[in-house]
A and B are shown apart, each in its own frame.
Chain A
Amino acid sequence: MLRTKSNAPRKAIRVGESSDPVDAPPPRGLTDIMPYIANTPEDQRAMLEAIGVASVEELFEAIPPELRLNGPLAIPPALSEMELTGRIASLAATKQRTTEAGCFLGGGSYDHFIPAVVDHVAARGEFYTSYTPYQAEASQGNLQAFFEYQTLITRLTGMDVSNASLYDGGSAATEAVLMAISATRRHGRVVTAASVHPEYRRILATYLANLETELVTVGTPDGTIDPDELKAALDEQTACVLLQQPNFFGCLEAAESLVQVTHDAGALAVVSVDPISLGLLKRPGDYEADIVVAEGQSLGSPMSFGGPYLGVMACREAFVRRMPGRITGETVDRRGKRCFVLTLQTREQHIRREKATSNICTNQGLFALRATVYLAALGPQGLRETAELCLRKARYAAQRIASEAPLQLAFDRPTFKEFVVRTTNNNVAPLLAAAGEQGFLAGVPLGRWYPELADCFLVTVTEKRTKGQIDALAECLQSRI
């Protein structure tokens, strides 16, 4: 195995600013203008004296000299707040910010409107600079918000219980599958479909690589899962089926029949949903799903080049003790007053160690809070109207963009806010690049994940897109194809 030599000369890191000196200025002592460190030279002297050592160096005696770094780290020198602001502002000069371009990109990360009240609440220092509520008395704000989040998620999905969130939609789907394997004690097989987000399936394959479970993927050449094909893929050792509604192509799956087929084989149905679609579509609880997961980014979080987001997870009551992640519960305090605590902790790693339901030890607290404020701000009518706007605008866009060759819809299926466009002259990359030059983030090419769809791209239309933008995109695409 290759070893790094402790004190070998290290190459300085090249950074964008060409005028950067490679060597930092010499240190000016323990406190050389560190904006977040309070100890003055006088403080340090007093502290060292109280400890009974002559220098800070002595405090590091436990580290043998040969294991110490000889010289400064080869990283760029310190920046003042003004310099840092200039540097990051220049790096943040993203071309085609989604706010300016017409953003028709989706595929799991969506440009939905975020009410100002969400940002206002999430910017409260008492929320974002606190931590996991180990001391319930010092964390009732977070705990109540998580309890409200869990309640909102159960109402949104129609499920019995929700946890306090996981990392993101993709890893939540995998956690749900692992949960199903443990609940059914069937380790043989997990079935999913090509219409499930390809990154989610890749995460699942990565997690399953060292376990005995086989991952079977049902093809979806027509854009949705054929219940008979699903049935054929199930055996008596199948733990669960992971499906997505609406699916990655934006199409509606025959969710009720698929869940039925799954249950007939004694497996659990894990459904990944678009939370916004639940303003309109049947809730997974209505069609007997066992575990529901979702990417929660749509619920009031910015796209931020992929994260942070939050993974939503809800399930039937029977499985609650197999759930991963933090769960908040209601109880009373010693005076009988209602309050909230982290609960069912015997599932978790800090108590169960290798027998825990998962290694996850925190939730995405701040982003669960954002989702809570978002759902409360929209309310039932706001969520329904948002979903309806997405649906109507997406259908209008599909007609405008893909009604005749060389641009056509790839699948003849009902869709929600996304649809797949096929270019009959197989011109995806130059077409999207040309649209980009006209200021459109026009679509996600599918060839990277689906070689058979190399001539296709995915278009997403949220409530933020206007008829004017849709018309302009349609004209742009049709003139460039």
Chain B
Amino acid sequence: MRNTRATKLLFELSQPGRRATRLPEPDVPVVPLAELLPRESLAADPPPLPELTEPELVRHFVNLSTQNMSVDTHFYPLGSCTMKYNPKRNERLAGLPGMVDVHPYQAASSVQGLLELLYELQQMLAEIGGLSAVSLQPAAGAHGELTALLVAAAYFRDTNQRRLKVLAPDSAHGTNPASAAMAGFDTVTVKSTPAGFVDMEDFVAKLDDSVAVFMITNPNTLGMFDRQIAEIASRAHDAGALIYLDGANMNAILGISRPGDFGADMMHFNPHKTFSGPHGGGGPGAGPIAVNETLAPYLPVPQIVRDGDQYRLDYDRPKTIGQVRSFFGNVGVLVRAYAYIRTHGPHGLRRVSENAVLNANYLLSKVKHIFAVPQGDRCMHEFVASAARLKAEHDASAMDVAKRLLDYGFHAPTVYFPPIVPEAMMIEPTETETKETLDAFAETLFRISEEPADLLHEAPHTTSISRPDEVRAARKPVLSWQGPA
């Protein structure tokens, strides 16, 4: 039961002299600090951290946790984020001492099992993506995008091609153009058709020998598979450009279609989406990338290689772009992805996507009677409904619907994305939800669509807070507690 009292900050709970930890007495000779370090390097006092006992800490944080919605507690149909169930066996296995009590600079001979796991994961991801080589290093999907673009830049530099442009559809995730800018490319936006597919005419017009990469999400951000992809890839390749696949929506096509087979030269995976790594309130995720054979030499170091029955980290790769993250990468997330893929096997992964697509289409068949779904009657693993009519006729927006859903015990869909659909509500149920949950969600959407606009404007009514003033937060930022130190 939620404790409505628990909203004080750690700093407000603090009382001088309280402690939650006691450290051992020094077992080595105690010398005055001034003999160990120059006086001018020492702080006069320790940093002003809060002082609490362990029971207070536990109650504080556990009560805070109850103010979150989560996959463990709620249906969380946040489109594009693939909020599927996070298997508990994966948590236990990723937390084994042999996985966590391991230093990144331990000798390879002492971590052969872990290297074997990561090596096998590289191979399985290459197979799922239909590509040749994998780097597990990037720490998130956006980081994978950036890494792949750095790989592409290195490839073009190495082959003396001056290509400075990246093409991306107007429906792309914002990370695509942002990653392109960080990798030193100029982004050119390609129009989408009203149905959300690449506007071929516009694409062809913008494709020339200055284009390095076309970044595409397929299935796209409307949850539709763009069947022009083979032609897009072929035209891009004819122009000497590479195809990057944003793998955010891989949950729709596991074991059904492989990016490498439909023309992608490079892609990233989101193990925290597709392979059930928990989202952790924003992270950690991981963003492994897969590339074709031509691009493999440019991947970051280290790569795991197998010599006979031994695994080792290979840093000696002359064409590598270098490194994008310290040490090996988000290993804990990768172990969970490994556990997930091994739990499912080839048929199981296909079942995942089949049921993800079945659940989404079923929910679409119900939601389309309540809200317009501009893309039509079919989708892949997610779909985008529009609250434009509700807005016009009842003055209630997609945001109002999202907020009101919280009152009924459902997390909201992603709203106002992709920007090409007005009053967008992007709904991704995932395969781990039951038909009963989907039915209840659709019924709730219907009920909300009939509710008075005033009720919706002030929603949510049952959560600990309602409608924070975001303008005030941005105009006069208060980014840390301003009380006494």
Residues of B within 8 A of A392 (CB): 26, 28-31, 36
Nearest Cβ in chain B — how far from A342, in angstroms?
A: 8
Residues of A within 8 A of B99 (CB): 92, 94, 304-305
Nearest Cβ in chain B — how far from A203, in angstroms?
A: 5
Contact B282 A307 (CB under 8 A): no
Residues of B within 8 A of A44 (CB): 358
Nearest Cβ in chain A — how far from B315, in angstroms?
A: 7
Contact B322 A4 (CB under 8 A): no
Interface string of A25-48 (1 = CB under 8 A from B): 001001110111111000110111
Contact A306 B104 (CB under 8 A): yes
Interface string of A161-188 (1 = CB under 8 A from B): 1101101111100000010000000000
Q: Is B194 interfacial (CB-CB < 8 Å)? A: no
Nearest Cβ in chain B — how far from A34, in angstroms?
A: 5
> A37 to B347, alpha carbons, bound, how many Å?
13
Nearest Cβ in chain A — how far from B142, in angstroms?
A: 5
Whether A379 contacts B37 in the complex (CB less than 8 A), given A156-B49, A305-B103, comes out as: no
Q: Is B160 interfacial (CB-CB < 8 Å)? A: no
Contact B328 A137 (CB under 8 A): no
Nearest Cβ in chain A — how far from B322, in angstroms?
A: 3
Residues of A within 8 A of B406 (CB): 135, 137-138
Contact B96 A126 (CB under 8 A): no
Tell which of B50, B105, B114 touches A379, judged by Cβ atoms closer than 8 Å: B50
Interface stretch (choices A236-244, A262-270, A370-378, A473-481): A370-378
> A69 to B9, alpha carbons, bound, how many Å?
54
Whether A56 contacts B67 in the complex (CB less than 8 A), given A97-B102, A168-B139, A358-B178, comes out as: no
Contact B362 A47 (CB under 8 A): yes
Tell which of A280, A372, A377 touches B21, judged by Cβ atoms closer than 8 Å: A377
Nearest Cβ in chain B — how far from A337, in angstroms?
A: 6
Residues of A within 8 A of B422 (CB): none
Contact B139 A307 (CB under 8 A): yes
Contact B346 A73 (CB under 8 A): yes
Closest to B227 in A: A64
Cβ-Cβ contact count across A and B, 8 Å cutoff: 733
Nearest Cβ in chain B — how far from A258, in angstroms?
A: 13
Interface string of B336-349 (1 = CB under 8 A from A): 00110111111111
Closest to B78 in A: A131
Interface size bucket, B side?
35 or more
Q: Is A466 interfacial (CB-CB < 8 Å)? A: yes
Contact B327 A332 (CB under 8 A): no
> A68 to B72, alpha carbons, bound, how many Å?
34
Q: Is B432 interfacial (CB-CB < 8 Å)? A: yes
Contact B330 A307 (CB under 8 A): yes
Whether A353 contacts B178 in the complex (CB less than 8 A), given A94-B102, A171-B326, A305-B111, comes out as: yes
Q: Is A452 interfacial (CB-CB < 8 Å)? A: no
Contact B326 A376 (CB under 8 A): no
Q: Determine chain B's interface SS by DSSP, over half rule.
A: loop
Q: Is B278 interfacial (CB-CB < 8 Å)? A: yes
Closest to B83 in A: A131
Contact A68 B257 (CB under 8 A): yes
Tell which of B93, B145, B285 touches A362, judged by Cβ atoms closer than 8 Å: B285
Q: Is A191 interfacial (CB-CB < 8 Å)? A: no
Nearest Cβ in chain A — how far from B429, in angstroms?
A: 11
Q: Is B85 interfacial (CB-CB < 8 Å)? A: yes
Q: Is A136 interfacial (CB-CB < 8 Å)? A: yes
Whether A59 contacts B469 in the complex (CB less than 8 A), given A35-B343, A360-B140, A369-B281, comes out as: no
Residues of A within 8 A of B117 (CB): 88, 91
Q: Is B213 interfacial (CB-CB < 8 Å)? A: no
- Contacts A/B (CB < 8 Å), 21 sampled: A34-B351, A60-B256, A62-B227, A90-B113, A94-B110, A129-B72, A137-B464, A140-B7, A144-B9, A145-B64, A148-B9, A171-B326, A303-B102, A303-B103, A334-B469, A349-B173, A353-B174, A354-B187, A363-B283, A379-B19, A432-B107
Q: A47-B435, A330-B478 are in contact. List 13 more A-B contacts (CB 8 A).
A: A92-B113, A98-B106, A121-B65, A128-B91, A133-B282, A135-B406, A141-B65, A141-B68, A170-B327, A305-B327, A307-B284, A354-B181, A395-B28
